[in-house]
């Protein structure tokens, strides 16, 4: 059961109504108030589980008066369950201001874990999951979106973005331009719902699928991008200073002797230097 004088951060289903924990149901039933991002949307979930706890709106546009009203209720010893339209509150959803102020006022904040689109999508994406960076929603304007992508272009972690249907094609085009067409990505759509879809491939392949199938432009989306990997080093390539040194030696000495001296001075293998000289200078044994 809930405790008095506590703010409960309650995760709710992201699609399938069965994806809610027993603890979340109990918390919603026993709280004094449920603060919801959209009371009309959340009413359907509460009706489904027979929960009649009073609802009050709370979202990113709530003013200081609304926030203070909830804090006053908490200070009076009431319990409040905070929910968003779907998933875990504060993860690209409202609640940050309320949680910060509640903690400043020494009010207990209790997480009730459950569904979260970020983790759910990543668990089935087939991309590295040991390290990842959740980037939330990208800016709506093209210039702002590209600037944000430039900041993470060499991030080695799997990158996770939320995106809306009407911007997904523009976002994929910008990702392809910044990250490169061949970077691997996964687009998860309508997670836990009837038409759940995971599309994987490089950006060119994903863009082609979306352009050919309008159904793939529906629903909320999670885009996951493989982290940056350093290009494989060319085993035959020489550092510029070593190359310059070898060219100078080749102008004055026989190929074998030039390669041997360059190897001693640079630490490179003599055979590698010899091969480079033959391939790049057309040198022959004097």
**Three state DSSP letters for 112-125:** ECCCCHHHHHHHCC
User: Is 44 within the bounds of a domain?
Assistant: yes
Shared domain for 152 and 131, answered yes or no, is: yes
User: Is 286 within the bounds of a domain?
Assistant: no
User: Is 230 within the bounds of a domain?
Assistant: no
Shared domain for 93 and 152, answered yes or no, is: no
Shared domain for 155 and 101, answered yes or no, is: no
Query: Is the confidence at residue 99, as pLDDT, over 80?
Result: yes
Percent of the chain surpassing pLDDT 70: 95
85-103 mean pLDDT: 93
Shared domain for 20 and 69, answered yes or no, is: yes
pLDDT the model gives residue 286: 45
Bigger pLDDT: 125 vs 3: 125
- The answer to whether the CB of 219 falls within 8 A of the CB of 189 is yes
Shared domain for 66 and 128, answered yes or no, is: no
Shared domain for 133 and 217, answered yes or no, is: yes
User: Is 66 within the bounds of a domain?
Assistant: yes
Question: Which CATH number belongs to the domain containing residue 221 in this structure?
Answer: 3.30.950.10
User: Is 69 within the bounds of a domain?
Assistant: yes
- The answer to whether the CB of 137 falls within 8 A of the CB of 166 is no
Query: Is the confidence at residue 231, as pLDDT, over 80?
Result: no
Question: Which CATH number belongs to the domain containing residue 80 in this structure?
Answer: 3.40.1010.10
Shared domain for 30 and 129, answered yes or no, is: no
pLDDT the model gives residue 282: 56
Shared domain for 133 and 195, answered yes or no, is: yes
Bigger pLDDT: 282 vs 199: 199
Q: What's the mean per-residue pLDDT of the chain? A: 92
Distance (Å, whole) CA 156 – CA 73: 45
- Please name every residue paired with 162 in a beta bridge, in sequence order, or none if there are none: 137, 222
Domains: count for the chain: 3
Taking CA atoms, 286 is separated from 78, 79, 246, 250, in Å, by 94, 91, 16, 10
76-87 mean pLDDT: 96
The pLDDT tens digits of the residues spanning 233-246 come to: 667 778 888 889 88
pLDDT the model gives residue 107: 96
User: Is 232 within the bounds of a domain?
Assistant: no
Query: Is the confidence at residue 284, as pLDDT, over 50?
Result: no
Q: Which of 64, 84, 115 is the last residue of a domain?
A: 115
User: Is 263 within the bounds of a domain?
Assistant: yes
Provide the domain limits for residue 29.
Answer: 6-115
The pLDDT tens digits of the residues spanning 18-40 come to: 999 999 999 999 999 999 999 99
Where does residue 173 fall: left (phi above 0), alpha (psi -120 to 50 degrees), or beta otherwise?
alpha
- The answer to whether the CB of 147 falls within 8 A of the CB of 42 is no
Shared domain for 204 and 245, answered yes or no, is: no
Q: Which of 203, 208, 209 is nearest to 224 (CA)?
A: 203
3-class state of residue 161 by DSSP: strand
User: Is 132 within the bounds of a domain?
Assistant: yes
Shared domain for 149 and 220, answered yes or no, is: yes
Shared domain for 145 and 161, answered yes or no, is: yes
């Amino acid at each position: 059961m809930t405790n008095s004088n506590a703010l409960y951060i309650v995760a709710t289903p992201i699609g399938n109504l069965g994806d809610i924990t027993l603890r979340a149901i109990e918390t919603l039933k026993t709280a004094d108030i449920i603060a919801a991002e959209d009371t009309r949307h959340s009413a359907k979930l509460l009706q489904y589980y027979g929960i009649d706890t009073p609802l009050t709106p709370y979202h990113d546009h709530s003013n200081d008066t609304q926030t203070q009203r909830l804090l006053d209720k908490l200070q009076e010893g009431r319990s409040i369950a905070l929910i968003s339209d779907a998933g875990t509150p504060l993860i690209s959803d409202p609640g940050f201001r309320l949680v910060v102020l509640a903690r400043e006022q020494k009010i207990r904040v209790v997480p009730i874990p459950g569904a979260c689109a970020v983790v759910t999508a990543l668990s089935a994406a087939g991309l590295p999951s040991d390290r990842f960076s959740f980037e939330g929603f990208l800016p709506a304007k093209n210039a702002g979106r590209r600037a944000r992508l430039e900041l993470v272009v060499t991030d080695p972690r799997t990158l996770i973005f939320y995106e809306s249907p009407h911007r997904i094609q523009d976002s994929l085009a910008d990702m392809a331009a910044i990250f490169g067409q061949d970077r691997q990505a996964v687009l998860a759509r309508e997670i836990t719902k009837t038409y759940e879809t995971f599309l994987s491939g490089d950006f060119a392949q994903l863009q082609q699928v979306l352009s050919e199938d309008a159904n793939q432009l529906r629903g909320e989306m999670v885009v996951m991008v493989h982290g940056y990997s350093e290009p494989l080093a060319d085993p035959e390539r020489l550092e510029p200073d070593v190359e310059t040194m070898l060219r100078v030696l080749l102008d004055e000495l026989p190929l074998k002797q030039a390669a041997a001296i360059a190897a001693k001075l640079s630490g490179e293998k003599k055979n590698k230097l010899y091969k480079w000289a033959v391939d790049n200078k057309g040198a022959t044994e004097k």
